[in-house]
Amino acid sequence: MAVSEETPLLHTRRQHKQKTKASRVCDKLAVYGSFLGVFLAAADESIVLSTWSVIASEFHRLSQGSWLLAAYNFGWYVSLPVYGTLCRIYGSKNVLISAYALFAVGCLACGTSTSMFQLVLARVLAGVSAGGMVSLVSVILTDMVPADEVVLLRSYANVFNVVGRSVGAPLGGYLISAVGWRWSFIGQFPVAAICLLIGLYGLPSSLNSTKTGHADEGNARHSIMRLDFAGLASFSVTTVLLLLLMQELSAPPESFQIPLTILIPAFCAAVILFVVVEAYWARTPLVPLHLMKTSLGGFCLNQIMMMSSRSGLMSNLAPYLIRVKGATSLLAASAFVLAAVGVSIGALIAGKFIKRWKRYRTMTAIAVFGAVLTYLLIFIRWRNGCHLWEVVYLLPNGIAIGILFTTQFIGMSLGAPNENLTTCITTYYLAQQLGNIIGPAANVGVVQRVFMGKLKKNLNGWEEKKFIGQILNDDRFAERLPSVVQYFVRWSYLNAFQLVPLISAACALIMLPTVLWVKEEKLE
């Protein structure tokens, strides 16, 4: 074959096309690898939601179980505002890889913990890293894929998030039954390692370029000083004091360590300090109070109430089924599937409705009423025990919550000023995490406190009264006691649990005035 002057050029073009095609395939693999990280972080959160009572019972610290529930979300909350600044300074690839490595370490630390305190610290570490594994995906997508594909791929990332939350709880129950809770954490290490390797070799090095360039490198590093460290510190102290307060209210008398006369004033002072820091000290506050005066404040309040109501009920679901029905860990965790499926159905219904009718407030109000009614139905039907099939009530409740997830986010996005949209979205998600912290802490505390009081009353004069501490700190301890005592324990717990759906219904009802007050924005 004769060689012409154009031959090298044609080969070069062909090679360039092949390299471009290979690069696109590599980029897509890297993107879907990051979706695996989103799934892992979401599943890890819900695994503990269904298994915390079993884990805490093994340490004989069930009264302190709210720490396990709050630790992950606490780490997420604290880390979320920091990742954006770290990306500007060190590049999104480096930060994401570091998050994967930190998560892997956190998984190993959880699985090898020898005390409740160590496990709580490990859960905080896992939450800190998971915040980056989820939030940085949007940054990666914006920098890697064409603009017309970003929205679609972000929706895929959200699907992985929802699926992770859905399968995490039943998966946790299965793993505890099959291999034990320690391996349910250690088993995540290889998956985190795969995510790390995909990110290390699949993500382009261009993602490590900083936003300011070498000339302004000093200014970029100086920007980290603009982070609201005082706000983060004061919020952290406030959250820890809240958890201590809930623990002291729910723990047996012999385990009390800090007097309430100290905790309550300290908590109030920490709340005031946080508000003062955010209002007068912070240059870039975690919670911009001037935006709280707009519709954003209403949406954030609704997120706190919605997540408190939902997480408060969900955190007590497994203990209820174990104590009242004697369910296995797997069966108790399987009940979470109905709630997760309901959320997915609700989100789809809301999306279709909004796309067709361009309205969302009416549907939001209906969903609030639906949530309240399902909480009241659970109160009525579960207060004296329930048939196993009655966990189906979690499905319509999940549908209502799924609708609220969608309509509230759309309303917030439309009402937020364009120049503050990113700040509003971050604050909105922080409100969700705050609700996830408050709900379990408050409801677990209330249940344990009332449960303890009822046990003292019902077991008064019985020799088994000396076992009240063990009953409170181990959800299966009563199975070793005589059947008559088991009846008293079950009845005492039912009297305590019935407050949970009532609290959830009250939290959901608080949303209604805000839903009706906030102006419905026009949806183009």
Parse the chain into domains and list their residue ranges: 20-223, 228-283, 288-524
Q: For 228, phi and psi rounded to 5 degrees?
A: -85, 70
Query: Residues 313-368: pLDDT tens digits?
Result: 998 998 999 999 888 877 887 888 888 888 888 888 888 888 888 888 899 999 99
Q: What average pLDDT does the segment 75-99 reach?
A: 83
- From CA 164, how far away is CA 390, in angstroms rounded? 25
Query: Residues 253-297: pLDDT tens digits?
Result: 555 567 778 888 999 999 999 889 888 887 778 777 888 888 888
- From CA 109, how far away is CA 314, in angstroms rounded? 25
Helix, coil or strand: residue 4: coil
- Contact, 50 vs 174, CB < 8 A? no
What is the average pLDDT value for the chain, to the nearest integer?
83
- What's the pLDDT score for residue 28? 74
Give strand pairing partners of 385.
383
- What's the pLDDT score for residue 296? 87
**What are the tokens at 277?**
């820091």
- Contact, 40 vs 133, CB < 8 A? yes
**What are the tokens at 217?**
């490198």
- What's the pLDDT score for residue 16? 46
Rounded to whole angstroms, the maximal C-alpha distance in the chain is 106
- From CA 124, how far away is CA 74, in angstroms rounded? 7
> Per mean pLDDT, which range of 300-314, 373-387, 472-486 is the poorest?
472-486
Reply yes or no on whether the pLDDT at 48 is more than 60.
yes
The one-character DSSP state at 180 is -
Helices and strands (DSSP H and E) totals, the chain: 20, 0
- Contact, 282 vs 412, CB < 8 A? no
Q: How far is CA 21 from CA 32, 140, 318, in A?
A: 17, 19, 49
- From CA 433, how far away is CA 306, in angstroms rounded? 11
CA 128, chain centre distance (Å): 12
Query: Residues 8-26: pLDDT tens digits?
Result: 554 555 544 444 555 666 6
- Contact, 181 vs 58, CB < 8 A? yes
Amino acid, res. 407: T
Instruction: State the pLDDT confidence band at 207, using cuts at 50, 70 and 90.
Output: confident
Q: What average pLDDT does the segment 372-379 reach?
A: 97
**What are the tokens at 258?**
């800090």
- From CA 126, how far away is CA 107, in angstroms rounded? 7
Q: For 141, phi and psi rounded to 5 degrees?
A: -65, -45
- What's the pLDDT score for residue 19? 46
Same fold, 20-223 and 288-524: yes
- From CA 431, how far away is CA 345, in angstroms rounded? 23
- Helices 499-517 + 361-382 axis angle, to 10: 170
The one-character DSSP state at 461 is T
Q: What fold is seen in the domain 20-223?
A: Growth Hormone; Chain: A; (1.20.1250)
- From CA 394, how far away is CA 12, in angstroms rounded? 61
- From CA 338, how far away is CA 174, in angstroms rounded? 16
Give strand pairing partners of 383.
385
The one-character DSSP state at 64 is G
Above pLDDT 90, what percent of the chain? 29
- What's the pLDDT score for residue 15? 47
- From CA 416, how far away is CA 299, in angstroms rounded? 10
Reply yes or no on whether the pLDDT at 6 is more than 90.
no
pTM of the full predicted structure? 0.83
- What's the pLDDT score for residue 488? 92
- What's the pLDDT score for residue 432? 87
Q: How far is CA 219 from CA 84, 210, 227, 282, in A?
A: 15, 12, 14, 19
Q: What fold is seen in the domain 288-524?
A: Growth Hormone; Chain: A; (1.20.1250)
What DSSP letter does each residue of 457-521 carry, written as one string?
Answer: HHTTT-GGGGGHHHHHH-TTGGGGS-HHHHHHHHHHHHHHHTHHHHHHHHHHHHHHHHHHHSPPP
Q: Which residue has the tokens 């900083």?
A: 210
* Nearest to 322, CA basis, from 314, 310, 330: 330
